[in-house]
Amino acid sequence: MHPKNISILDYTYHLPDGKIAKHPLAERDASKLLIYKNGKISEDIYRNIVSYIPENSLLIFNNTKVVEARIIFQKPTGGMIEIFCLEPDEQYGNISNALLQQKKVFWKCLIGGASKWKHGQILEKKIKHDNIEIVLSASFIKKEKDYFLVELFWQPEDLSFAEILHFVGVIPLPPYIKRQTELSDIERYQTVYAKNNGSVAAPTAGLHFTDNIFKELTDKHIQKDNVTLHVGAGTFMPLKAETLAAHNMHSEFIEVESSTIKLILDNLNNNIFTVGTTSLRTVESLYWLGLKTISEPNIKPENLFVLQWDPYEIDNKNISAGKSLESLIEWMKKNNLQKIITRTQLLIASGYQFEIINALITNFHQPQSTLLLLVAALIGEDWKKVYEHAINNEFRFLSYGDGCLFFKQEEI
């Protein structure tokens, strides 16, 4: 069956509000860990996760960093308007470039209280930082189907937009955590290895990892590397269509070094674990990008990206992951690229053939979400058994909740 015909209602389960973790545990690696392997479920805690990962494996992490994307403006009349910065306008090419902009920037946003914001009205927010007054202004440009385009401009003009967000904005917690952002969230809604600014939501599987776990990985000769996928708000949103055919998968920026692709290539015969669905989507996207460089060797960098139905409609003619990654590396050399920066819209659902990864470390996901569909593609109908076990055995759900280690069936 083509994934377009998948009924979204088949991927639901009852999630009581009391099962949703509203705060993180005191210790990152104290969270519970559910292990699924060859149809069997077992339990442990995160600080023991290394014992389940074979020697000489490769772990791929998403080192994106959550930006303070939520900005609260107060109108002169006292009304509050919230701007949630989703992603930059296309003119900047990628998030990194957009965050480096000075003086002004155009951003795609969600707006809370949009009806109170009259056309032509400039919103203004002032703060003091190190005895310097920072003034951020916002101008409503236009409304699109899924977002508002907003012009943001500021003083001092030599500050970058990344700095402006850091000084003026707030870390955006997911909407199902129904509380205000607290000081502790600044640290805990961020992985310990976060590096590249750009996400509006954390790659939550990585929140459990600690320096001690990384030391144990090294001691066991387990390799580690990073990719970057800047997580958009669409990642965690429930599907609204009846079938996948009517769903437009969110597109997200990815960045991968050529050295990382070479490392993945060298480990195809070992065990490749991805930490988080975002890492998985990025790594699997590399296969489809490589496939396109095989069929179109002279494709321009701006035209090389992954569309949601590519895996189900491109004839890959049994081209191996090794051949695809080799082609992608050669294409990057030819285009003098040390890093590939592009977008992926990859949708992974039942029927998807995993080309690179062997296992996934992740959290528990919302009903009727693309993340749950991804899990179902990896472990099949047993996702229902796994989630039922978690509900009945006091696991904590969603971003600040507990986690899972899923092995592809009959793998490792």
Q: What is the pLDDT of residues 212-253, one digit of tens each?
A: 999 999 999 999 999 999 998 776 566 788 899 998 888 899
Identify any residues that bridge with 151 across adjacent strands, giving them in sequence order.
Answer: 106, 139
CB 204 within 8 Å of CB 190: no
| 36, two tokens | 């699924």
Average pLDDT, the chain: 94
Q: How far is CA 214 from CA 4, 32, 229, 270, 293, in A?
A: 40, 18, 21, 19, 35
Residue 19's CB: how many other CB atoms inside 10 A? 16
* Residue count (the chain): 412
pLDDT tens sequence across 135-181: 999 999 999 888 899 999 999 999 999 999 999 999 999 989 989 89
The pLDDT of residue 237: 63
What's the rounded Cα separation, in Å, for the pair 6 and 239? Answer: 12
Nearest in space to 58 (alpha carbons), one of 286, 208, 221: 221
What's the rounded Cα separation, in Å, for the pair 201 and 130? Answer: 28
Mean pLDDT along residues 322-343: 97
What's the rounded Cα separation, in Å, for the pair 390 and 225? Answer: 30
Nearest in space to 342 (alpha carbons), one of 369, 373, 310: 310
Question: Which segments within 122-251 are labelled E, that is strand?
Answer: 122-129, 132-143, 148-155, 196-199, 223-229
Nearest in space to 224 (alpha carbons), one of 396, 59, 372: 59
pLDDT tens sequence across 303-328: 999 999 999 999 888 899 999 999 99
Domains and CATH numbers, the chain: 3-65+188-407 (3.40.1780.10), 69-170 (no CATH)
**Biggest CA-to-CA distance, the chain:** 64
Share of the chain above pLDDT 90, in %: 84
Identify any residues that bridge with 37 across adjacent strands, giving them in sequence order.
Answer: 40
What's the rounded Cα separation, in Å, for the pair 153 and 139? Answer: 8
Residue 26 has pLDDT above 90, yes or no: yes
DSSP state of 383: H
Structure confidence at residue 410 as a pLDDT band (50, 70, 90): low
The pLDDT of residue 412: 45
What's the rounded Cα separation, in Å, for the pair 280 and 254? Answer: 12
pLDDT tens sequence across 97-128: 999 999 999 999 999 888 888 877 899 999 99
What's the rounded Cα separation, in Å, for the pair 49 and 246? Answer: 38
Nearest in space to 136 (alpha carbons), one of 149, 121, 148, 151: 151
Residue 81 has pLDDT above 70, yes or no: yes
What's the rounded Cα separation, in Å, for the pair 406 and 37? Answer: 6
Indicate the pTM of the whole model. 0.94
What's the rounded Cα separation, in Å, for the pair 149 and 145? Answer: 11
Nearest in space to 33 (alpha carbons), one of 190, 207, 277: 207
The single residue listed with the structure tokens 């592809």 is: 408
Ramachandran region, residue 199 (left: φ > 0; alpha: ψ -120 to 50; beta: rest): beta
CB 232 within 8 Å of CB 69: no
The pLDDT of residue 156: 96
DSSP, collapsed to helix, strand or coil, labels residue 172 as coil
Alpha-carbon torsion angle 184, 101, 64, 210, nearest 10: -40
Mean pLDDT along residues 367-376: 95
End-to-end CA distance of the chain: give it in Å, rounded: 28
CB 76 within 8 Å of CB 88: no
Phi, psi of 371 (to 5 degrees): -70, -40
The pLDDT of residue 2: 87
What's the rounded Cα separation, in Å, for the pair 170 and 80? Answer: 15
